């Protein structure tokens, strides 16, 4: 046998081995894909079942996209604090906690939600996959490989979050990635849909149309918008187009909280503006409308880059506080 024949024989064996390996790999990919698909369907079925009945057979109220117990006012998914609609239908809403107490309660619920997710294998797989994607998309530009597809994925996944803005940007980016992960979890378990997002945005637009605007109405909008701009710039590190996806997600969640009359941000604002143990529901709704609109404005301002959202947010906050104090001094109360 000549050397050429031996070489051909070796190459033939290599082709056969590669073919077998490819077949096995294809089988593994198909199996993994089927498992992931089945897992997502199962999670959606469990979420739908949970939205109909509670684990203890108790009464639950549908809070837009998430399920909340009527008595406890606690959202099952992600430990988000919620209140029933009946409380917001009244002109005045009772507030029993200080801002610090609300923040502590929200943090505790988030931690409990995180601990419970550690026992869910499917959520752990989703979180691990996202972490791996973030890691890869952070390394590729650093080694000089950053074509348009990588940039697009970085934009959609907020992969560059925490890599700009120094230590505050790093901390904010981590929190922002947690917000992205929360939103992805909502999508996976069916806690949010395209129709619900559209409905929430319509609810936000309804707050700005058909109303008579005066200083008492504008001041809470400015305060909510200014606070949102501060938070957005903190989460994004630097307000750039590449990092603005966290602002888009924050806008959707804020609009959802406005429509559902729920969420930690609403609880915090309620405790801040409470007077004599109660807060005006109309004032709270306007602040939340400004909160959602502020995130949308932050995304638009990202075209200028840098820390412009901090600057604009500070201006809006000062203007809102000054106007509110002027209205209070004139009317002798909190603007409605």
Count CA atoms within 13 Å of residue 129 on its CB side. 10
Question: What does the pLDDT look like over 37-78, one tens digit per residue?
Answer: 454 455 445 545 544 444 444 333 333 333 333 322 233 233
Q: Within 10 A of 2 (CB to CB), how many other CB atoms are there?
A: 7
Q: Which two tokens stand for residue 60?
A: 């639950």
Cα–Cα distances in angstroms (integers) from residue 317 to residues 121, 198, 216, 311, in the given order: 43, 28, 15, 10
Question: What does the pLDDT look like over 114-148, one tens digit per residue?
Answer: 777 777 777 788 888 889 999 999 899 889 898 99
Question: What does the pLDDT look like over 178-210, one tens digit per residue?
Answer: 899 888 888 877 777 788 888 888 888 887 776
Q: How far apart are CA 188 and CA 41, in angstroms?
A: 9
pLDDT at 45: 55
Asked if residue 243 lies in contact with residue 225, where contact means CB atoms within 8 angstroms, the answer is no
H-assigned helices in the chain: 3-52, 85-89, 99-117, 121-142, 148-157, 166-189, 194-208, 215-236, 245-260, 264-272, 281-301, 308-331
């Amino acid at each position: 046998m000549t050397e050429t024949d031996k070489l051909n024989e070796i190459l033939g064996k290599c082709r056969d081995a590669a073919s077998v390996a490819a077949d096995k790999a294809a089988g593994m990919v198909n199996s993994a894909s089927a498992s992931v698909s089945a897992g997502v369907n199962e999670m959606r079925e469990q979420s739908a079942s949970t939205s109909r009945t509670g684990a203890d057979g108790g009464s639950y109220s549908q809070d837009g996209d998430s399920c909340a117990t009527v008595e406890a006012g606690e959202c099952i998914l992600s430990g988000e604090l919620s209140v029933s609609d009946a409380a917001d239908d009244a002109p005045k809403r009772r507030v029993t906690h200080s801002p610090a107490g609300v923040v502590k309660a929200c943090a505790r619920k988030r931690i409990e939600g995180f601990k419970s997710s550690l026992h869910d294998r499917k959520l752990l797989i989703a979180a691990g996959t996202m972490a791996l994607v973030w890691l890869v998309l952070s390394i590729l530009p650093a080694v000089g490989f950053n074509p348009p597809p990588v940039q697009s994925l970085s934009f959609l996944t907020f992969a560059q979050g925490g890599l700009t803005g120094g230590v505050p940007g790093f901390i904010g980016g981590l929190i922002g990635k947690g917000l992205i992960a929360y939103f992805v979890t909502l999508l996976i378990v069916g806690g949010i849909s395209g129709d619900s997002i559209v409905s929430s945005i319509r609810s936000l637009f309804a707050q700005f149309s058909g109303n008579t605007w005066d200083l008492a109405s504008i001041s809470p909008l400015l305060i909510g918008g200014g606070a949102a701009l501060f938070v957005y710039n903190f989460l994004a590190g630097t307000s750039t187009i590449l990092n603005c996806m966290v602002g888009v997600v924050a806008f959707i969640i804020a609009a959802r909280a406005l429509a559902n009359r729920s969420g930690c941000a609403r609880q915090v604002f309620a405790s801040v503006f409470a007077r004599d143990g109660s807060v005006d529901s109309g004032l709270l709704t306007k602040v939340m409308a400004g909160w959602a609109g502020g995130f949308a404005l932050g995304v638009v301002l990202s075209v200028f880059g840098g820390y412009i959202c901090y600057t604009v947010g500070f201006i809006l906050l000062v203007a809102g506080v000054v106007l509110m104090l002027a209205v209070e001094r004139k009317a002798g109360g909190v603007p409605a």
